[in-house]
Structure 1
Amino acid sequence: MYLSRKLRFSDMFQEKYKKAFRIDDKVKILEIGCGPDAFAQALHRWYPNAEIIGLDKDGNFIAFASRQAPQIAFMEGDATYLPCFIRKARNPNYGSLHIGANGF
C-alpha cells in the first residue's frame, strides 16, 4: 500500500499538483492524516523551502514517517483536537487544500 501511495505522488505528476495547489515555495503546510508520509515527502521535494508538518493519530505511521523523512516534522495527534500540535506550530498561518483519497 505504501508504494501505491508513493506512486500517486510521483514526480511525474508534480506539475499537475503544483498547478492545482497554486502556492509559492515559502509556505507552511500542515498535512492532516499524513499516514506513512508519501504526500509529505512529495511536498518537500516540490516545495523545498516550505515548512511541512505531518499530523496523524496513528503512532505507528508517525514513527515510520519520521524514519523515512527526518527532514519533515511529524507529530502524533488527533485533528479533531488541534491543540495537540499548536504549541509546536506557533502562529500557524495555514491556507486550506483538500485532496480526497483518490486524488483530485
Structure 2
Amino acid sequence: MDAAEDPVAMVACLREEHRNEPWNPRWNDLEVAGVDLVSLDTRLEGCAYTWVANDGSLHEQGMATVRLILNQLEKVLPELAEDDNPQVWHRLQRMAQLIVVHNIRPTEASS
C-alpha cells in the first residue's frame, strides 16, 4: 500500500511537507475568526505526530482536540487573505480530516 492509499502514510507525508514549509513570522500574532493560528498549528502537530507514531490510533482526548481544530479551520479558511498562505492551512485541514475519518480507537488495557 502506497502513501496514496494509506492514511497514516498520507498524514506523515503532509506533516513532513508542513514541517518543511517556511514559517511566516506574520502568523506569530495572527488571530483569524477568533483562532490563534500558532496554537492551532502546534496542537495539530502534536496530535498528528502521535497519530502517525501510533500507526493511526489516537485516544479520545486527542481526537476531541483534532475535531476542535477541524472546526476551527472551517471558520478560519474562508477568512484567510492570500498573504496568509491559505494552502498551508488547507494542508492542516486535510491532515485533520484524515485523522478523524481513519482513526483506530486504541484498545483498552485490561487490568
Normalised TM-score (structure 1): 0.29
Normalised TM-score (structure 2): 0.28
Larger Rg: 2
Structure with greater strand share of residues: 1
Higher relative contact order (CA 8 A, sep 6+): 2
